[in-house]
Amino acid sequence: MQQALNNRTGRLLYKLGLLAVIIVGGDFLLGKVLRYWYFKQESGLLYRTTYAMEVTHSDALIFGSSRANHHYHPAVMEQQLGMRTYNTGRDGNFIFYNTAVLKSILKRYTPKVILLDLDVYTFNESPENYDRLSALLPYYKTHEEIRDIVELKSPFEKIKLQSAVYPFNSLIFKIAVGNTEMNKSRKTDLNGYVALTTTYKNDIQEYNIEEKIDTQLVKSFTSFITSAKAAGSKVFVVVSPIYYQYKRSQTIGLARAICQNNRVTFWDYSRDTALQQHREWFADRAHLNDEGAQYFTKLIAEKIKQEEQQ
């Protein structure tokens, strides 16, 4: 009886062991392959994050989400400021992502000018802010400085990241495309900037959110501006134009106050009626198109120049 039990337990342990070896081995090999191809990309969305974190040495850097990415044209900035500019903005990634990318950059060098674009409701509580930290998972292993930010994603992130495949979850096709020539012609970027070419057709409307402030996001924003300032960069926080009206934004109030406390320039264009008169400059209610971006970048660059001269 005892022997039979031992045999059965032994059989189970053997099979579980075999399965574990296959899973761990498969995970290791597949993870290695994915990592190799991920960092071999030379264009596209994923590559731009790698470039921002590991390569760029531009004097002026743009940070933010899709609004930053589509609103600030580096060539216009370069022309106005005479500084090499790179746009690190990434679609759907907000302040956590920006702070992580900044940390990696500051570890390598100090940019002269840092511009952070904020959304009207950036500090609003949303699980998406944490979910989207997955954009940083491939860098967790090699970038110690961003680990505390990535670990905000969930209390178990450290354990999950023991898997070599997990950081590349849902990225296999993007990695595959990123390694082909097709990617370069698909969506070209100009020093990180991706132009939007459509024109918004709808009338201006009101869009309100009952904001519930996430203190973690506020902390991250504060950390962004204080560390950039401490490093010696000149920091500008901008709320770029939108094609909708809103009643109230706690985010803007808080961000303005934090900037004031830290002596950081804060410009709010979210209610700029002069810009909102030009519907042809918008691609949708939250994004400027290329024409709008060129105009707005010039406007901001001139203001930065004036600030610099003062």
Partner 1 sequence: MLFNSFEFLIFFPVVTLLYFLLPHRFRWLWLLASSCYFYMAFVPIYILILGFTIVVDYYAGIFIEKASGRKRKLFLVCSLVANIGVLAVFKYYNFINENISVLCQSLGVVNNIPYLSILLPIGLSFHTFQAMSYTIEVYRGNQKAERHFGIYSLYVMFYPQLVAGPIERPQNVLHQFREYHKFDYTKFIEGCKLLLWGFFMKVVVADRLSIYVDAIYNNPGEHNGTSLTIATFLFGIQIYCDFAGYSTIALGCAKVIGFELMTNFKRPYLATSPSGFWKRWHISLSTWFQDYLYIPLGGSRVKISRNCFNLFITFMVSGLWHGASWTFIIWGALNGLYLAGERLINEARKNGGILSRIQLPRVVATLITVLLISFGWIFFRANSTHDALLIMQKIFTTSGKPYLSDPSQLLFSLIGITVLFAYDLQNEFFVNKNILINNRNVVIRNVTYASIVLLILLIGVFDGGQFIYFQF
Residue ranges binding partner 1 (CB under 8 A): 8, 11-12, 15, 18-19, 22-23, 26-27, 30, 127, 131, 134, 154, 156, 159-160, 163, 165-166, 168-170, 172-174
18 vs 230, beta carbon nearer partner 1: 18
Work out how close the CB of 294 gets to partner 1 at its nearest, in angstroms, rounded to a whole number: 26
The nearer residue to partner 1, 134 or 251, going by C-beta atoms, is 134
In angstroms, what is the minimal distance from the CB of 91 to partner 1? 10
**Quick one: 156 or 210, whose CB is closer to partner 1?**
156
The phi, psi pair for 246, rounded to 5°, reads: -140, 155
From the CB of 191, what's the least distance to partner 1, in Å?
24
Structure tokens at 107: 């570890």
| Least distance between partner 1 and beta carbon 166 (Å) | 6
CB 98 to partner 1: min, Å = 19
Residue partners of 293: CB distance under 8 A and separation at least 6: 70, 71, 72, 73, 193, 195, 196
Residue closer to partner 1 (CB basis): 22 or 75: 22
Q: Is 282 left (phi over 0), alpha (psi -120 to 50) or beta?
A: beta
CB of 203 or CB of 306, closer to partner 1: 203
Rounded alpha-carbon distances, angstroms, from residue 196 to 57, 281, 286, 297: 26, 10, 12, 14
* 247 contacts 216 by C-beta, under 8 angstroms: no
Can you state the angle between helices 290-309 and 74-81, rounded to 10 degrees? Answer: 30
